[in-house]
Chains A and B, each alone.
Chain A
C-alpha cells in the first residue's frame, strides 16, 4: 500500500528553469568578486607593513645606540683626577 503511495511521487513533473536565473547567478558572482580584495593587494599591504616594522626596529636600535653614547660623554667630562675646582 505504502509502496503504491510512494509510486505516486513519479507523477511529479519536472519544471523548466527560468531563463533569467543564469543572469542572477552571474550577477551574484560578479558582486562577490567585487567585494573580494585581490591577493596581490593583500601582498602589497603585508609587505608595506613589514617594511614599516623593519624601519621602526632600525630606528629604535639606532636611537638607543645614540642615547648610550650620549650617556658616556658626561662621565668623561665629569671625571677628575685632582682636587682642583673649575676656573680656579
Chain B
C-alpha cells in the first residue's frame, strides 16, 4: 500500500474527526496535514499489533487535541501580553464555531450541544465523538482509546451526566 493509497483511504476519516474537534475547515485541514505527515513518517515503524485504521484514529485524536492546546496557548499568550487580567477567561476557550457539516434545520440545537460538549474533559469528548458521530462500536472505541469496554461505558455515562448538568 503506497502513501497515496493510505491517504485516499483515510483522508475523509481523518479530516472529519479533526473537524469535530476544531470546528472549522482551515484548522481541520491543518490537523489533517499534521496527521498524514506523521503517518507517512512513522509507517515503517508501525507494528501490526493494531489495525492501521485504529492507529490512524489514535494519531488524529492526539494531533487534534495537541493542535487545540497549542492554539489556546498562543491565544492566551497574546491576550496575556495585551491585558494581564483577562488571561483567566482564556482558560475555557471554545474553538471558533464554523462547522460545515451542520445543516441549517438543526443548526441552533446542534451548535448549542457542541458548545456544551467542548466544555467536557478530553476523554469524555472523545468518547462522544467516536460513539455518536463516528458511529463506532464500544469495542472499537475501547481499542482506539486503549481502555476496557467497561471504562468506555463509564466514561460515556459520566459524559452524559456532565452534559445533563450543562444543558
Residues on A facing B (Cβ under 8 Å): 1-3, 5-18, 21-22, 24-25, 28-29, 32
A2-B163 contact given A12-B99, A29-B40, CB 8 Å threshold: yes
Query: Contact at B12–A14, with CB atoms within 8 Å?
Result: yes
Chain B: number of interface residues, binned into ranges: 20 to 34
Kindly identify which residue among B19, B20, B37 contacts A25, using a CB–CB cutoff of 8 Å. B37
Residues on B facing A (Cβ under 8 Å): 4, 7, 11-12, 15-16, 19-20, 25, 29, 32-33, 36-37, 40-41, 99-103, 106, 109-110, 113, 128, 132-133, 135, 160, 163-164, 167
Minimal beta-carbon separation of B110 from chain A (angstroms)? 6
A3-B7 contact given A9-B128, A12-B99, A13-B103, CB 8 Å threshold: no
Contacting residues, chain A, for B109 (C-beta < 8 A): 5, 8
Interface of B is mostly: helix
The listed residue with most B CB atoms (<10 A of its CB), out of A7, A9, A21, is A9
Query: Contact at B33–A10, with CB atoms within 8 Å?
Result: no
Query: Contact at B15–A17, with CB atoms within 8 Å?
Result: yes
Contacting residues, chain A, for B113 (C-beta < 8 A): 5-6, 8-9
